[in-house]
Chains A and B, each alone.
Chain A
Amino acid sequence: MPTNAPTAEPLVDPDLCDRVLAVALRRGGELAELFAEDRSTHTVTLEDGRVEALRSGRERGVGIRVLRDGRAVYAHTTDLSEDGLLAAAAAAAAAVRHHPGDPRVAILPVDGTARAARIPARSPTEVAAAERLDLLRRADDAARSTSPSVRQVRVGCTDEERRILVVTSEGHRATDRQIRTRFSVTCVAHGDTGPQVGTEAPGRTTGHELFATRPPEEVARTAARRAVGKLRAVPAPSGRMPVVLARGAGGVLFHEACGHGLEADLVDRGASVYAGRLGERVAPAGVTLVDDGGLADDWGSAAIDDEGVPVRRNVLIDDGVLVGYLWDRRSGGRAGRASSGNGRRESFRHLPMVRMTNTFLLPGSEDPAEIIRRTPRGLYCVALGGGQVDTATGDFTFGVTEAYLIEDGRVTAPVRDAQLIGNGPATLAAIDAVGSDFDTWAGTCGKDGQGVPVSAGQPTLRVAALTVGGTAT
């Protein structure tokens, strides 16, 4: 595989940055920001036992943002020549005039110190093609040997190295080098009741060190076991019932059910059910929700956010009481406070906005097995697909991809895929057991058309009542 790795040179020459920022501010504005990005990606996939087309790419680009009175103008370009960058800056400056805003908004300086970028011992760009392909074949073999009913196996490995540079007209300058690896296995198993799918897709902010904790064989067996287990699945129940969420996967429920509603841009627009509720009890005692972009190598981790602000640990709900929101520089400016390090963007093509990083509920003290034993009837959810929320109403849905009936305090038959539906504030208030275990889940969070890597985590939890959308009555 070609090593088209990013080089160690500055993404944009420092003198040129200054000239670009000066042009961007020519027509007014309090703050100009240059965001440069250099991203190299490698993807290998295997399906039907064959290594498919290898894919790789390198994308470099620059975005120039001017903030005036709390409003943003943005121009981005893939032309990184001096002329290209100055033209983009001029385009941003020209748009400032369309832009009367609220002159009371002041963007506060960046505070805090960023930790050093965490660079794994070996960049994935240095991994040879043969080594990547070996990972795929090991997973394929492991999945197929799990059960003869596994007929289709798809394995994929994507790794990327992303360098970013943020320079602002206030003199703030920050860089980061982010390396991410994700491995996914999808199996289709066939049985008397038709085919079923199982997927497992761990991701970490590191290189192929991922495989030290998640060997390809283990990931493959998890996906295969999930597909095979569902061959004897019964139709999912329908109606309201207690739901026990196993550690890890259920974190996405709280990402949807309350995390998005705590993003300050939505709060500020009145588009969140959590607006104006700071200091209020929003969950039972024992429920503490944290967003922390600085965890060692979780999928949503980095040294700085995409506005150059050091990431940090932000407590959002403390023992059931709402204590904080997530902020970027712009929403912080409107509220007279600094960013919490949550200004993120998908790429140089996008304006940053308030985003979660690694968001999780802290473990409590109850024995997970005991939580199930105390549940006479309900649903036990082990793996979840994607979710969705309307932050203005708090209503959310998310898909269950591995779940079991709970009957008489025991986990019994697997059930077919179904949605869970509920209301964020009501669901938080209905948490009635918090386990002592913990795990996380990696995913891509979408908001206004931008996807960013996030993780979600939680201990085993019980929600007293959620609506399960199956077909069994």
Chain B
Amino acid sequence: MIYKILLAVWMTFIIVASFMFTEAASGFPGETSRILFFHVPQAWVATLCFLLSMIGSALYLAKRRLGSDDLAHSAAELGFLFCILATVTGSIFAKATWGSYWNWDPRETSIVILLMIYGAYFALRSAVPDPEKKRVFAAVYSILAFVTVPFLVFVVPRITTSLHPEDTMNPAKPGMDPRTLKVFLGSLFAYTTLFVWMLRLRMRLLYLEHLKDPIARMRRDGGIE
């Protein structure tokens, strides 16, 4: 419980700090660069979620434990949510910087493809009636879907000409204001902790659903393979 209260306080501090204790980056209209503190951590958490979904899927195929499938399912749901949030915040930045909410920039196009790929994951889960087959199909699909993630997130926007401000706002590049970097890293930490909390909530809910299902309960307890 204590980490949740600390997270609530820490996130509040990060929001205040991102507006009051940092300067807007030069080269961007007005204060638009402050979206860095929200947009990038959301994109980071989305990528982390898809990675965890792939790991959970691989574990499920190896061990056939319901907990692994729950991890894969929950992480994919949260990844989808954070991916939408990153798209929305990116669109707000695009409107202020490039004059339009949507420009079919390689970065924008690749994130839409990613959303469609993981949207299909949920369609697949809901389309297969048999629970065991559903889990196996979803696990295989999730592993295949993750293969596209590094390509869509890291490769495509870098091999094509993009409006996305890669060099100027990348905290790994030298020249970023130290105070901005500290707030940015704090924001990354806050978003990651928020994701852990949300993931645990979703997994606990799925666990409760399994408790109502006697076959799933036996499989979880190792009674049947």
Query: Do A and B share a complex?
Result: no
Residue numbers of B with Cβ under 8 A of A are none
